[in-house]
Structure 1
Amino acid sequence: MSHDPNERTDASRPEAQAEDAPNRCKPSDPFRDFREDTEVVEEVVQDGKTVRRKGIYLLPNLFTTSALFAGFFAVVSALNNDFSTAAIAIFVSMVLDGFDGRVARMTNTQSAFGAEYDSLSDMLSFGVAPAVVAFSWSLQSLGKFGWICAFIFVAGAALRLARFNVQIGSVDKKWFIGLPSPSAAAMVASCVWAFDSFEIDAFAFDLLMALIVAVMGILMVSNIRYYSFKEIDFRSPVPFVALLAIVLAFVVISLQPSVVLLILFSGYALSGPIMALVRNVRRQEER
């Protein structure tokens, strides 16, 4: 078969070479497959239709990551016998944890990923960290009884968070069912922070601390109701005296923060059982 040497194939034409040039010069992205394989994909409902959304929201998850870091820092500080710093880190984590959900609602950046990430962060900051801090500070002197009480707290926090996640939307927002895990963690942290400077070394005090840790764990999984403060509207006008009361509260806390916080969270932890007892007495009187 004869072949015309002047005839050009499609690949040898200048136009085809010009079209292929950008493809040959474009560098390949070695991380493309990695990004696609690790991308978070959620199915959300928008305008009545189910759509697939890629990626996560940065701002609320940044607060959650900060709270997670504070909780981990509390564990590290406890292992280094810096118990006051560990207790303060738990309170810092508590403050940051209070911001992530509010920021997500204010900026309309709620997501299922954020909710799960927040729960895992809470498990470390308000479950594992307080138990490790309390055990390293006091409970380890009690041997097996000490770590069992610490485990009761950890298990209570895990069960409390799991129950809270499945009951969202089905319970009255005015109340928490069981002691909230941040409040239980704050109770333990305030005890460590308040009494660490006294260098108390007594078996009776260690036993009391173990009982406090175990009771906090039990209260978290109880059916006792605690006021949630979610009905307070911070956007509505308040009397001027309310601002003065807030300023006075900050002054009192700054004088002796560990003692004041211990009193506040002790009162909140006791408020649930006291209100439950009062309701039971009223029911019996009505019968």
Structure 2
Amino acid sequence: MEKPDKPQLRAVDETEKAAVAAAGERSNARRRGVYLLPNIITTGALFSGFYATIAGMNGRFGAAVLAIAAAIALDTADGRIARLTRTQSQFGAQYDSLSDLVAFGVAPAFVAFSWGLSSLGQVGWVLTFLYVACTALRLARFNTQSDLSSFTGLPSPAAAAVIACTIWVWEEQITGTPGLFAASAVGLVMAVIALLMVSNFAYFSAKQLGIKGRVPFVALVLVVLSFAVLLADPPRILLLLSVAYALSAPALFAWAWLRRQKPE
């Protein structure tokens, strides 16, 4: 009778040890629980996205847009509060991504579909799914990135802002049921925004500003003036800013490419 091979036994032992260690980590995670404050804020963003979806399905597009705006504000706050209170965790990061998928993927897509894309038939729901799928891919890639000093691809909150502000401008400035042309235009915008989310364009991150310390007094004056300009016409100003940010990375890439093509 042949004796069992020792390397095989060693491999089995190592596998069993790894399984035991993983089970121990899961048990420790259950005992530790989760941090309450940042996850409450994340839940608020998740609820805002859920509410926006329901409001859009019921034709209350103004409320849906405001709910998406609330989700963007809460998503901005939860990460910063987690860092300030030192309550960051792997659970919080994963929960935040799932919340973002609902608030910035499902909600804007379904609001746009209920608003006018449904009139495009199969093309409408294909564009809706494309946007949701690209949001999921964008979030999955973000979770695997190590360098977060800049964004690779358009961030999902910025993408949601473009869609929400477009509908907001229509509801506030134009009103009426969108026709085939308006629905087609928004569908085209959704397709472009979806592709920008999964692109390799490098987008500016607020972390690059480095404003943790003191700043010149003129910076505060500029912030006050910015709020004054914003309050003059919030729908159009926010749409302009969100579109400008979405196109900033492709524009800079094109500018750099053209400069490289010039002869010395």
TM-score category of the 2 structures, normalised to the smaller one: 0.7 to 0.9
How far did residue 233 of structure 1 move?
2.4
Which of the residues 174, 183, 186 maps onto 1:206?
A: 183
Out of 128, 153, 157, the residue aligned to residue 178 of structure 1 is: 153
**For 2:98 and 2:125, how far apart are their aligned partners in 1?**
22
Deviations 1:11-64 (A, max 9, x none): xxxxxxxxxxxxxxxxxxxxxxxxxxxxxx9949xxxxxx75520000110110
- Cα pair 1:42 1:112 within 8 Å, conserved: no
Do the aligned partners of 2:42 and 2:95 also contact (CA within 8 Å) in 1?
A: yes
Of the candidates 204, 229, 238, which is equivalent to residue 215 of structure 2? 238
Partner of 2:230: 253
Sequence identity percentage: 48
Residue 166 of structure 1 is aligned with which of 119, 144, 149?
144
Q: Deviation string for 1:103-122 (max 9, x for gaps)?
A: 11111111111011000000
Q: Which moved more, 1:269-278 or 1:192-201?
A: 192-201
Report matched runs for 1:46-125 at 5 Å.
54-125=32-103
2:150–2:208 Cα contact (<8 Å) kept: no
Question: What SS class does the counterpart of residue 254 from structure 2 fall into?
Answer: helix
The runs of 5 or more residues in structure 1 that have no matched partner are: 1-40, 45-50
Structure 2 equivalent of residue 30 of structure 1? none
- 2:41 is aligned with what amino acid? F
Q: Which residue of structure 1 aligns with residue 11 of structure 2?
A: none
* 1:194 and 2:169 aligned: yes
Greater fraction of residues in helix? 2
AA partner of residue 225 (structure 1): A
What residue number does 2:118 align with? 140
Q: For 2:25 and 2:211, locate their aligned partners in 1 and report how far apart those are by CA, in whole Å.
A: 33
Q: CA distance change for structure 1 residues 194 and 42 in 2, over 3 Å: closer, same or farther?
A: farther
Which amino acid is the alignment partner of residue 226 of structure 1? Answer: Y
Aligned structure 1 segments of 4 or more residues deviating by more than 3 angstroms = 41-44
Q: Distance in 2 between matches of 1:286 and 1:123?
A: 45
Cα RMSD between the aligned structures?
1.8
In structure 2, distance between residues paired with 1:69 and 1:286: 55
Give the TM-score normalised by the residue count of structure 2: 0.86
Letter matched to residue 175 of structure 2: E
Greater C-alpha radius of gyration: 1
Q: Aligned to 1:179, what secondary structure does the other structure show? A: coil
User: Which segment drifts farther, 273-282 or 192-201?
Assistant: 192-201
Distance in 2 (CA, whole Å) between partners of 1:130 and 1:42 is 40
Please identify which structure carries the higher strand content. 1
Larger RCO (CA within 8 A; separation ≥ 6)? 2
Counterpart residue number, 1:32: none
Q: Which amino acid aligns with 2:238?
A: L
Aligned residues: 238
**Unpaired stretches in structure 2, ≥5 consecutive residues:** 1-22
SS state at 2:203 partner:
strand
